[in-house]
């Protein structure tokens, strides 16, 4: 899991509530990413940030929001607009000096009922 | 459309046996290909990374091969151990981008 931490490991929320997932890295990486993993599917990119105070939508950004106020932190908010939020969420970081090798955190499993 | 397909979807083998996992991709132009191991409920961990000019790369009992002409890669696991039970994900990066394209993975189970 390298120097990337995600918290909490398990998260339970009621439908209609926003929830924020934490991701912190101490690898001094410029870029950070959020992915969603569902059974039988490959990882799908939600949002990514290549530099502080800047981020871009990935393939499935609807219903999610992010911020990048510090290099070390890239929190993801799952809003009530996300129609199917229950999933395993993975955060990653990378540096352009390492062939963009992405290092993943341990993940957060979110369950919304 | 850029895609990465893996086979088989799942595989069961006995401890000590060898196995080979396959990955076909359509990503073009191509920069590099990685194999990740993901234990259940954990984040993926990189096993190997290969550029288009590399044919094979080893990491202990794991050996990855790449044929950039046919756009195929394989991951060979030698003398499997119970701890090899995991999902193995093939990931391709296109040229001049940091975005990755993920396969759906092969779920390997090693039984004693």
> Would the pLDDT of A2 be above 80?
no
Residues of chain B with pLDDT under 50: none
Q: Are the beta carbons of A106 and B42 separated by less than 8 Å? A: yes
Q: What is the mean pLDDT of residues A30-36?
A: 95
- Which residues of chain A lie closer than 8 angstroms to B49, CB-CB? 99, 101
- Which residues of chain A lie closer than 8 angstroms to B100, CB-CB? 43, 45, 102
- Report the distance separating Cα B47 and Cα B11, nearest Å: 19
Q: What is the pLDDT of residue A96?
A: 67
Contact partners, residue B82, CB within 8 Å, separation at least 6: B15, B110, B111, B112
Question: How many residue contacts between A and B have a Cβ separation below 8 Å?
Answer: 53
Q: What is the pLDDT of residue B18?
A: 98
- Which residues of chain A lie closer than 8 angstroms to B105, CB-CB? 42
Q: What is the pLDDT of residue A99?
A: 62
Q: What is the pLDDT of residue A24?
A: 97
Q: What is the mean pLDDT of residues A47-66?
A: 95
Q: Are the beta carbons of B43 and A96 separated by less than 8 Å? A: no
Nearest by Cα to B6 from B76, B108, B104: B104
Q: Are the beta carbons of B45 and A45 separated by less than 8 Å? A: no
Q: What is the pLDDT of residue A42?
A: 87
């Amino acid at each position: 899991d390298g120097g990337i931490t995600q918290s909490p490991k398990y998260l339970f929320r009621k439908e209609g509530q926003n929830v924020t997932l934490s991701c912190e890295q101490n690898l001094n990486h410029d870029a950070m990413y959020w992915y969603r993993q569902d059974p039988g599917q490959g990882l799908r990119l939600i949002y990514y940030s290549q530099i502080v105070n800047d981020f871009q939508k990935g393939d499935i950004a609807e219903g999610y929001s992010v911020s990048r106020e510090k290099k070390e932190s890239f929190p993801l908010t799952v809003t009530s607009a996300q129609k199917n939020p229950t999933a395993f969420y993975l955060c990653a970081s990378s540096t352009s000096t390492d062939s963009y090798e992405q290092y993943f955190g341990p993940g957060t499993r979110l369950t919304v009922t | 459309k850029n895609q990465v397909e893996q086979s088989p979807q799942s595989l069961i083998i006995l401890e000590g046996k060898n196995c080979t996992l396959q990955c076909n991709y359509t990503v073009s132009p191509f920069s590099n290909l990685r194999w990740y191991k993901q234990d259940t409920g954990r984040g993926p961990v990189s096993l190997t990374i290969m550029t288009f000019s590399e044919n094979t790369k080893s990491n202990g009992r794991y050996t990855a091969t790449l044929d950039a002409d046919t756009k195929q890669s394989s991951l060979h696991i030698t003398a499997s151990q119970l701890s090899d039970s995991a999902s193995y994900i093939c990931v391709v990066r296109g040229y001049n981008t940091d975005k990755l394209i993920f396969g759906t993975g092969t779920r390997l189970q090693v039984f004693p």
